Amino acid sequence: MIEIRDLSVDLGDFNLKDVNLHVQSGEYFVILGPTGSGKTVLLETIAGLYPAKHGEIWLDGQEIMKLEPENRGVGFVYQDHVLFPHLKVMDNIIFGLRRQGRSKKEARSEVAWVVDFLGISHLLGRKPETLSGGEKQKVALARALVMEPRVLLLDEPLSALDPAGKEKVQRELRRLHERLNLTVLHVTHDFEEAVSLGDRIAVIGEGRIRQVGNPEEIFHKPGSEFVARFALARNITVADVQDGDDGGAFAIVGETRLEVLTDLRGKCHLSLRPEDILVSAEPFKSSARNSFKGKITRVLDKGSILYLTVSVPPDLICMVTRRSFAEMELKEGGEVHVTFKASAVHVF
Contact assessment for residue 19 and residue 4, using Cβ atoms and an 8 Å cutoff: yes
Phi and psi at 117, nearest 5°, equal: -55, -40
Q: State yes or no: residue 78 binds another protein (CB under 8 A).
A: yes
Please state the closest distance from residue 347 (CB atom) to another protein, in A. 43
Residue (61 or 85) nearer to another protein, CB: 85
Angle (CA) 115-119-124 rounded to 5° is 55
Contact assessment for residue 204 and residue 21, using Cβ atoms and an 8 Å cutoff: no
Bond prior to 314 in cis (omega within 30° of 0): yes
Q: Provide CB contacts within 8 A for 275, sequence distance 6+.
A: 319
Question: Using the 8-state DSSP alphabet, how is residue 218 labeled?
Answer: H
Q: Spell 288-323 as b/e; 16+ CB within 10 A means b.
A: bbbbbebebeeeeeeeeebebbbebebbbbbbbeee
Please state the closest distance from residue 88 (CB atom) to another protein, in A. 13
Which of 1, 67, 82, 180: binder of another protein (CB under 8 A)? 82
Residue (97 or 268) nearer to another protein, CB: 97
Please state the closest distance from residue 201 (CB atom) to another protein, in A. 24
In this structure, how many other beta carbons lie within 10 angstroms of the beta carbon of residue 5?
16
Give the integer Cα–Cα distance in Å for 8 and 49. 14
Total of chain residues touching another protein, rule CB under 8 A: 24
Contact assessment for residue 124 and residue 48, using Cβ atoms and an 8 Å cutoff: no
Q: State yes or no: residue 68 binds another protein (CB under 8 A).
A: yes
Which of 13, 61, 66, 86: binder of another protein (CB under 8 A)? 86
Q: State yes or no: residue 299 binds another protein (CB under 8 A).
A: no
Residue (50 or 117) nearer to another protein, CB: 50
Which of 6, 63, 70, 275: binder of another protein (CB under 8 A)? 70
Please state the closest distance from residue 94 (CB atom) to another protein, in A. 10
Please state the closest distance from residue 76 (CB atom) to another protein, in A. 4
In this structure, how many other beta carbons lie within 10 angstroms of the beta carbon of residue 86?
9
Coil, strand or helix at 321: strand
Query: What is the chain's length?
Result: 348
Please state the closest distance from residue 69 (CB atom) to another protein, in A. 4
Coil, strand or helix at 154: strand
Q: State yes or no: residue 96 binds another protein (CB under 8 A).
A: yes
Task: Kindly identify the residues of this chain, within the stretch 29-48, that bind another protein according to CB under 8 A.
Answer: 44, 47-48
Which of 49, 67, 232, 312: binder of another protein (CB under 8 A)? 49
Q: State yes or no: residue 75 binds another protein (CB under 8 A).
A: yes
Which of 39, 143, 189, 234: binder of another protein (CB under 8 A)? 143
Contact assessment for residue 293 and residue 254, using Cβ atoms and an 8 Å cutoff: no
Residues that bind another protein (CB under 8 A): 44, 47-49, 68-70, 72, 74-76, 78, 82, 84-86, 95-96, 99-100, 143-144, 147, 149
